[in-house]
A and B are shown apart, each in its own frame.
Chain A
Amino acid sequence: MHWWIELREGLRIAWDATRANKMRAGLTTLGIVIGIVTVTLMGTAIQGLKRGFNQSISALGSDVLYLERYSWFINSHEEWIRQNRRREITWDQVRGLQRQITSARAVAPTVNTARPVKYKNRSASSVMVIGTTDQALYTGGTSVANGRFLTAGEAEGGRPVCVLGAQTATNLFRGESPVGARVYVGGYPFDVVGVLEPQGEFLGAFSLDNQVIVPIGQFTSLFTQRPDYAIHIKARDMDSLEDTREEARGIMRKLRRLAPGQDDDFAINQQDQFIKTFDKITGTIATVGIFITGLSLFVGGIGIMNIMFVSVAERTKEIGVRKAIGAKRRAILVQFLLEAAMICLLGGLLGLAIAAPGTLLLRKVMPATISLSIVGLALLVSLLTGVLAGFLPAWRAARMNPVDALRNE
């Protein structure tokens, strides 16, 4: 009860004092404003990146290994040159792996290229053409919206059929039913047997829906002379991913006739690598952001401390009067802490008011919205800055000797 009454009185005084010195409070709070704008935009940007990333990354199965000639992330030019000298992964190696591997749930070789796709007089340029087998339905994160996927029989030859990505289907068919129609992929006729569910963009770089899936046999005979296969291997479950990886590696080394001690001349990629790289990027953004935030909050905090010293000096007499009529140290301390916190909180609110339209700019490049947790964080940080910066001046005020304080004019 007692503290509540004192707190309310403290708030009242703080509010009066802040209102009486609007200009001063506004200028002082600038550092806090900048800090809060930075922390809010950074937090929002990271959340937005994460959201976009999680959407994209689900296109890569977490329990799928991608055995390819190149690593997804190459860190140096030398490494790139070395990997560029590697031999292609051949059809024989694909078959060998498929035959020998025991720990995989599904194995799907894929090859891809970009070709125009035509339907009647409409055409879509540079559609991702993917040659694969019926197994891709299990290794990919896709499912069929309309019609069906490739069958095992179709996969290696026979009829020229295809499955369209969602966007390619809408672009070419504009509401007509694509299933059963004939499209021309790179000039060759294919019958549409199915349409995939929409998958969205991959890291904002390209659409996963702008694609057409054709049997791998058709692909190699029509679109490429020297195919370089990638093999998607789905493990039985997450726990056996490492075992599957080791088995695939062993088989591949044998098939590619690598001597013991020789480095792998192929890469086994997995989703995990993307996540690690992504975490590194967001980590860097966060570090830079926290540094800028910390710096501006520090500078802002010093400003607040300064202005609070001024405020305490100006109101020495008032402190004396309050002490004379019975204010204890705690009451004076709380009064000035509240004033500092209030100025900082106003700075925080101002920062949020500036960051809100800033988020609209961010939204042009990523799915960004200010979340409640970020607003809470921003306000907490500004409050904390106020309390920390205000402590020394408030402490000095609280410890003032009433006789000396009253003598002050």
Chain B
Amino acid sequence: MSLIRLSRVSRRYQMGTETIHALREVSIEVGRAEYVAIMGPSGSGKSTLMNLIGCLDTPSSGTYELNGTNVSDMDDNELAEVRNKEIGFVFQTFNLLPRANALHNVELPLVYAGIPSEERRQLALEALTNVGLADRVNHKPTEMSGGQRQRVAVARALVNRPSILLADEPTGNLDSKTGAEIMSLFEALADQGHTIIVVTHEEEIARHARRILRIRDGLIASDERADSHALVD
């Protein structure tokens, strides 16, 4: 069974009197433990696709099944719950809370999951250790380097043990050396069996993935698998 199953999904926006077709009847399946890159130039619809997969948005038509549940008609609060349980976001600009230290930032998804504070602390510490930041738990984002911040963000994304790690240009704000560090972290996570989806416009970043989906004008232009060992479904 596929983890992600989009069937003939469209997303339209109303811009004044004009209707913009950001996605046109796209169908995609992604299996568990796949490492997928979504590529495309700006305006191609890749951000829209990412928002849909990340349950930040719902399709105008078509259905989206995540982990066997149809999420296309869910309301705001139901989607929030799905995001909390199933999706871990990593953003280009890290998006950590500036006033909170690393530990509290990582605890945040657990707060909204209603996990009591002792357990929360435990899980957050574990997640930070896994990304190699055990000695930075009390640092605030402003006291850390870009690479460290992004690793805090990865820890935050993974702390709830989500089904998907969804990264939007995760190296966009990093120099190439730190970017490479983050990509090797992703590779390690993929090897551990995490499902990872990276949205990027950089060929080099996409090459780390084992499957590349190219989007153009709201349609899937190509779907290539680098090799076969990623297919587990």
- Which A residues lie at the B interface, using CB under 8 A? 1-2, 5-6, 8-9, 16-17, 20, 317-318, 320-331, 399, 402-403, 406
Contacts and interface: CB of A to CB of B under 8 A. Distances in A.
Interface in B88-147: 89, 91, 95, 97, 99-100, 108-109, 111-117
A333 to B, nearest CB: 11
Given A20-B99, A321-B95, A403-B57, A328 B114 contact: no
B116 A318 contact: no
6 contacts: A2-B114, A5-B115, A5-B116, A6-B111, A325-B89, A329-B77
Contacts of A2: 114
A324 B93 CA distance: 14
Interface of B: 51, 54, 56-57, 76-77, 80-81, 83-85, 89, 91, 95, 97, 99-100, 108-109, 111-117, 156, 160
Given A320-B95, A325-B84, A406-B91, 7 more contacts: A5-B111, A321-B97, A323-B56, A324-B95, A325-B109, A326-B80, A328-B77
Nearest to A1: B114
Most chain A beta-carbon neighbours within 10 Å: one of B51, B54, B80, B160: B80
A327 B51 contact: no
Given A20-B99, A317-B95, A318-B97, A328 B117 contact: no
A394 to B, nearest CB: 15
Contact of A326 (B51, B91, B100, B112): B112
A323 B80 contact: yes
B135 to A, nearest CB: 24
A16 B56 contact: no
B77 A324 contact: no
A2 B115 CA distance: 8
A5 B109 CA distance: 12
Nearest to B80: A328
A6 B110 CA distance: 10
A328 B81 contact: yes
Contacts of A1: 114, 116
A326 B77 contact: no
A48 B2 CA distance: 76
Contact of B112 (A20, A325, A403, A406): A325
Given A16-B99, A20-B99, A327 B112 contact: yes
A339 to B, nearest CB: 13
Contacts of A324: 54, 56, 83, 89, 95
Contacts of A9: 108, 111
Contacts of B51: 403
B156 A325 contact: yes
B122 to A, nearest CB: 15
A323 B108 CA distance: 11
A148 to B, nearest CB: 76
A17 B100 CA distance: 11
A17 B98 CA distance: 11
A326 B77 CA distance: 9
B83 to A, nearest CB: 5
Contacts of A317: 95
B149 to A, nearest CB: 13
Contacts of B91: 321, 406
Contacts of B99: 16-17, 20
A379 to B, nearest CB: 27
A6 B116 contact: no
Contacts of B85: 326
A406 B56 contact: yes
Contacts of A402: 56
9 nearest interchain CB pairs? A326-B84, A2-B114, A326-B112, A325-B109, A328-B80, A321-B95, A9-B111, A328-B77, A402-B56
Contacts of B117: 5, 8
B51 to A, nearest CB: 5
A406 B95 contact: yes
A326 B81 contact: yes
A2 B85 CA distance: 15
B159 to A, nearest CB: 9
B167 to A, nearest CB: 13
Contacts of B111: 5-6, 9
B54 A331 contact: no
A270 to B, nearest CB: 65
